Amino acid sequence: MRVPRGGDGSRAIVPEPMEVTRENAWATLTRYTKSEALLRHALAVEAGVRAYGHKLGEDEELWSAVALLHDFDYEIHPTLDQHPQDGASILREEGWPEEVVESVLSHAEHLARPRDTPLKRTLFACDELSGFIHACGLVRPDGIDSLEPKSVRKKLKQPSFAAGVHRDEVYQGAELIGVDLDEHIAFLIAALRPIARDLGLRTTADATAAT
């Protein structure tokens, strides 16, 4: 922390700017989040958002950091009258730049903030769907290794499956980034496969061993 003196001699606490890296985002996230399910959600959303960032030639560290941080305060602020808006002040106190804070805030439907950058749109498009793909993988013997968009779409039409996932946000998200839903699903499945173990999913090797 720097404590500069104002012209009137008053002291204001101004945090040192936080360098936007995946590592720093992970440190902030894990300072406030202990739940394995929430950490897995953060990792899944990050994998999707970062893969899109890579595809679009964007700043992957920034995209990773925002994705990891988007629900960082959910454990301490589990209701929408606090999440994520009260988390924003914590991020500012930690020195995260406004671009990160604004991007985090933009994922929340109830705040109705503009999704006016590719990063904000991509975060929204990956948030619910990565959770849904994860849920699909949990009920399959080989996780998401052989999962195809067709079966994900079928499950999306079953309201009782992963009932907490807002279907309308899944459809809106694909539309928002201008990607066909099947393509978007396939892209996210491919992004999540390399981290299947970290997400607690089985893989083809488990399915083979079980037969």
- Token digits of residue 81: 């009258």
- Smallest gap, in angstroms, from Cβ of residue 204 to Fe ion? 28
- Please give the torsion angle defined by the CA atoms of residues 62, 69, 189 and 176, in that order, rounded to the nearest 10 degrees: -70
Position among 29, 63, 71, 145 found at the interface with Fe ion (CB under 5 A): 71
Residue 94 touching Fe ion (CB under 5 A): no
Site size for Fe ion (CB under 5 A): 2
**In this chain, which stretch among 32-40, 119-127, 146-154, 180-188 interacts with Fe ion, using CB under 5 A?**
119-127
Measured from the CB atom, the residue of 127 and 145 that comes closer to Fe ion is 127
Pairwise CA distance, residues 51 & 63, whole Å: 9
Measured from the CB atom, the residue of 87 and 149 that comes closer to Fe ion is 87
- Smallest gap, in angstroms, from Cβ of residue 12 to Fe ion? 31
- Smallest gap, in angstroms, from Cβ of residue 135 to Fe ion? 13
**In this chain, which stretch among 15-23, 51-59, 126-134, 184-192 interacts with Fe ion, using CB under 5 A?**
126-134
Of 55, 160, 166, 60, nearest to 107 (Cα)? 166
Residue 128 touching Fe ion (CB under 5 A): no
Total count of residues recorded for the chain: 211
Pairwise CA distance, residues 172 & 210, whole Å: 39
Measured from the CB atom, the residue of 71 and 142 that comes closer to Fe ion is 71
Measured from the CB atom, the residue of 72 and 187 that comes closer to Fe ion is 72
Do residues 81 and 110 make contact, with C-beta atoms less than 8 angstroms apart?
no
**In this chain, which stretch among 16-24, 66-74, 85-93, 156-164 interacts with Fe ion, using CB under 5 A?**
66-74
Do residues 42 and 67 make contact, with C-beta atoms less than 8 angstroms apart?
yes
Residue 127 touching Fe ion (CB under 5 A): yes
In the numeric block, the tokens 């946000």 are attached to 169
The full DSSP string for 56-102 is TT--HHHHHHHHHHTTTTTTT--STTTTTHHHHHHHHHTT--HHHHH
**In this chain, which stretch among 1-9, 48-56, 70-78, 96-104 interacts with Fe ion, using CB under 5 A?**
70-78
- Token digits of residue 172: 């809106």
Q: What is the DSSP letter of 110?
A: G
Measured from the CB atom, the residue of 142 and 199 that comes closer to Fe ion is 199
- Smallest gap, in angstroms, from Cβ of residue 211 to Fe ion? 35
Summarize as ranges the residues that interact with Fe ion (CB under 5 A).
71, 127
